[in-house]
Amino acid sequence: MANASKIVPISGGFHVWTRRVGDSPIKMLLLHGGPGANHEYFEIFEDYLPPDGIEIYFYDQLGSYFSDQPNDPSLWNAHRFREEVEEVRRYLGLESFYLLGQSWGGALAIEYALEYQENLAGLIISNMTASIPSYLKYINALRDLLPKDIVDTMRAYEEKGDLDAPQYIDLVTEHLYKQHICRCDPWPDAVNRAFAHTNAQVYNTMQGAHEFVFTGNLKDWDRWPDLHKIHVPTLVVSGRHDSMNPADIEEMGRRIPNARVAICENGSHMSMWDDTEAYFRYIKDFVHAVAGQ
């Protein structure tokens, strides 16, 4: 069967949702972002990778929309999610597979590779820097390029904690999301669904209330000193207009010994949607080069 959903039991008595698309010796597990989003914005992968001989596995991490959503903030940390990925890998029987993580999923993919890279044929870090402090420095620098009155207004709302104010939401949407998260107009339905279905408890516990200040338990996450330990073939791919610094992406390529870097010149954080052809060409070329095809 080329397309099959499977519920995976994991530690704690919980269950997570997966779905396989395609039938190929080349297998790829997808790690979505958020934290607390889900696989829905990855639906476009189905149109591009299985037809080119890459079997993909969608997977909603614990807490995400299609999986169990326990009300327990202690579960939302990088270490437990890393071990969850390994449990999912074992249950699905994935050996010498490709791991693609986007945004928070890219951080999770780095964590997985640092602990379990013997299971990987290749690693794809998509739209993610190696450090949350690096991300914060860059995204605030992007904001500081905006007119001063806009920046001052946004910061005033943030200082009051009034992040649900319509004006604040409009400013963030117009000057961050539409420029650096997804440049499609209008946004694709799959992206809107993923945002609408994000688990706020997971997001707030790990990231915080908003994009410009990190208060969650990932705030000090920094793997710059450890990237040299990743020896599997690696693709670091991002968008020129991403909320992640393209200079960071280039530096990651220098620090990971067996890496190549790809920048989608028209893409943002959702490069798979706003620079689709380039994004998937980079991924397919990488996978087929590693697979010797």
Instruction: Please identify every residue annotated as catalytic.
Output: 103, 242, 269
- Nearest Cα neighbor of 202 from 63, 95, 40 is 63
Q: Which residues touch 103 (CB under 8 Å, ≥6 apart)?
A: 32, 33, 34, 126, 127, 128, 269
Structure-block tokens of residue 82 = 């890393």
Judge contact between 207 and 92, C-beta under 8 A.
no
Map the chain to HEC letters: CCEEEEEEEEHHHEEEEEEEECCCCCEEEEECCCCCCCHHHHCCHHHHCHHHCCEEEEEECCCCCCCCCCCCHHHCCHHHHHHHHHHHHHHHCCCCEEEEEECHHHHHHHHHHHHHHHHEEEEEEECCCCEHHHHHHHHHHHHHCCCHHHHHHHHHHHHHCCCCCHHHHHHHHHHHHHHHHCCCCCCCHHHHHHHHCCCHHHHHHHCCCCCCCCCCCCCCCECHHHHHHCCCCEEEEEECCCCCCHHHHHHHHHHCCCEEEEEECCCCCCHHHHCHHHHHHHHHHHHHHHCCC
Say which residues have a Cβ less than 8 Å from residue 145's Cβ, sequence separation at least 6: none
Q: Are 118 and 125 in contact (CB under 8 A)?
A: no
